[in-house]
Structure 1
């Protein structure tokens, strides 16, 4: 009897893990970094890259974000042909730029243009963290400046979606100069009555946070976004104190008065169109406090 038990054939065959890897197409499934739930990539795309289980917001490519926000057929891109060079002769910089261009089909870490959101015309600038981690080089600063000048000339509002690791080290001080450059044109834009909205996405750090990302008439952010200037470890070592667990999150900044609202991605289109329509009509802003 014991022999029969041990010699009994298994009901289910074991599939070698290597064979499983070969049979499952790459990119078919994704695991949520927060709740660890596994989901189909297509379902994630339909849900605007937000986990249906826990609400975790994945990073979003610039083209997909524009499609999710702008009325179909209304977007016109600006300055798509602007390319970064290597002014400081930094070793390997050109090769890294070319690699990112092939990987993302973008020429730089930001896409600018104009379009309509629920019929409200606006100028848009959308940073893309896939290209050099959304770092702010000379071309990024120039594209933002040109977009703001267009908005100023045509009396249009301006919306910037930030996603950046900060200044681009391969361009040194030229990268840091973009902080002053963009802030100066923003001051001119504001002095002439322009409406400027920022939406900070994960991550928004360094010189981008210290310049145009924090200068909006409305400063919004997506849930869970990392927003800050210096890194957590550097700050803790400097002040010699342990920081709260939620430090530098969008929710922490909202609690301490540095944001106007944390807006889930599915509500962004409605929220932005509401602000744009409100200012076009000179309406009441009390809804923002609700």
Structure 2
């Protein structure tokens, strides 16, 4: 970040002198990960304080992206979560160049095998099935495994007559899987239709960003649709829409607040208040 970077040379009486000649080799040691920069306002934040605030910037209220595991930890009652299909991994159905290498590298980096974690647990003591997408894994793009895991989670909720909550975060369909990826839109939507036929509750929580094929399928099919503040939610990109319509879009276009104002979602909820609201909804 450069926050603690020292200049190599300092000027004394119009003469540049090497700092090491004065200070020696000793330099301040700043542990990695101690400070992070808010992606919205740019303020430097102490990481421990940020984690205590559930990764919400105290300066601008930016809801910084969580991993799927972090999301589950702050949502599901401690000790109650049972994961589904943890070992399921992507294949390379189109023999896309180096796709296998990329997914393996992402798995090693993130500690998860795909861009969604599914399972069952309790929220405020109420049993529910949950699926949480993770933008740190290939921007949570939806390939065959993501679609299959979410579909299986929905089917489990249907079979056990339980509600399901899906936290969405995605760049859309995964281009490396082509039509196989696009098929997941229909598959997940069909599973949700059967869940709905049984009169069961489906809640979606839109997080930043939720775009593309995910928005066009299960993200917007919830009986109740919630969103975190400031989340980007849309289908096509802003630039594509502007070029197609030949007109300038409002600055807040595709934000959670814009969607709430126009009736596309039900409520924008701060992260700190989300579990209490989910508990209330599951209790009704």
TM, length-normalised to structure 2 = 0.90
Aligned to 1:211: 217
- 1:84 maps onto 2:90 in alignment: yes
Aligned to 2:241: 235
Cα offsets for 1:248-288 (capped at 9, x unmatched): 0000000000000001100110010100001xxxxxxxxxx
Offset, 1:43: 1.1
- Which 5+ residue runs of structure 2 have no aligned equivalent? 1-11, 14-18
Change beyond 3 A, Cα 1:187–1:64: same
- Provide the aligned C-alpha RMSD in A: 1.8
Give the Cα separation in 2 of the matches to 1:268 and 1:257.
20
Aligned mate of 1:59, from 65, 72, 79 = 65
- 5 Å-filtered alignment, 1:3-42, equals 23-42=29-48
Aligned to 1:285: none
User: Could you say which structure has the higher helix fraction?
Assistant: 1
Change beyond 3 A, Cα 1:129–1:19: farther
Offset, 1:34: 2.3
Aligned mate of 1:75, from 70, 74, 81 = 81
Structure 1 runs, 4 residues or longer, greater than 4 Å off? 13-16
Aligned mate of 1:273, from 261, 275, 279 = 279
Aligned to 1:154: 160
- 1:117 maps onto 2:123 in alignment: yes
Cα offsets for 1:123-144 (capped at 9, x unmatched): 0000000111100000011001
Offset, 1:30: 1.0
Offset, 1:19: 7.6
Give the Cα separation in 2 of the matches to 1:236 and 1:115.
43
Aligned mate of 1:129, from 119, 129, 135 = 135
Q: Secondary structure at the match of 2:168?
A: strand
Q: Secondary structure at the match of 1:181?
A: helix
User: Which stretch of the first structure deviates more once superposed, 99-108 or 29-38?
Assistant: 29-38
Aligned to 2:191: 185
Change beyond 3 A, Cα 1:265–1:19: farther
Aligned to 1:259: 265
Give the Cα separation in 2 of the matches to 1:42 and 1:173.
43
Cα offsets for 1:71-117 (capped at 9, x unmatched): 11100000101110001000000000000000000000000000001
TM, length-normalised to structure 1 = 0.89
Aligned to 1:99: 105
Give the Cα separation in 1 of the matches to 2:94 and 2:200.
35
Give the Cα separation in 2 of the matches to 1:94 and 1:28.
33
Give the Cα separation in 2 of the matches to 1:262 and 1:274.
15
Offset, 1:36: 2.4
